[in-house]
Amino acid sequence: QKEVEQNSGPLSVPEGAIASLNCTYSDRGSQSFFWYRQYSGKSPELIMFIYSNGDKEDGRFTAQLNKASQYVSLLIRDSQPSDSATYLCAVSDTGRRALTFGSGTRLQVQP
């Protein structure tokens, strides 16, 4: 079982819709959770991080964390074609040397 699992997609949504991206992780000791966006041929860039159960909002993005279910999600409201990219979920705990990444979900926002 992979440590961080994501549906590879593609997830296709119309412009203006809400895109929902999901991630599960296997290590119950995980404490920090990150969402990165990666455009094709580019390096990952951080969108949001979340440490506590519940929701965290930043502009059009909302991260949701449920540690009991070992589940973290990213909601993108009012999706734009420029949001089309691969979204990587990454997980860390205090014992880890570095972040562990999922393989990413490819999002396509159709104009």
Partner 1 sequence: EADIYQTPRYLVIGTGKKITLECSQTMGHDKMYWYQQDPGMELHLIHYSYGVNSTEKGDLSSESTVSRIRTEHFPLTLESARPSHTSQYLCASSVRAGGAGELFFGEGSRLTVL
Residue with Cβ nearer partner 1 (70 or 103): 103
Distance CA 34, CA 87 (A): 10
42 binds partner 1 (CB under 8 A): yes
Strands (E), the chain: 4-5, 11-14, 19-25, 32-38, 45-50, 54-58, 61-66, 71-76, 85-92, 100-101, 105-110
Residue with Cβ nearer partner 1 (73 or 104): 104
Residue with Cβ nearer partner 1 (31 or 70): 31
93 binds partner 1 (CB under 8 A): yes
99 binds partner 1 (CB under 8 A): yes
User: For 34-107, where are the alpha helices, taking DSSP H only?
Assistant: none
**Which residues sit at the interface with partner 1, rule CB under 8 A?**
4, 8, 31-32, 34, 42-46, 49, 88, 90, 92-104
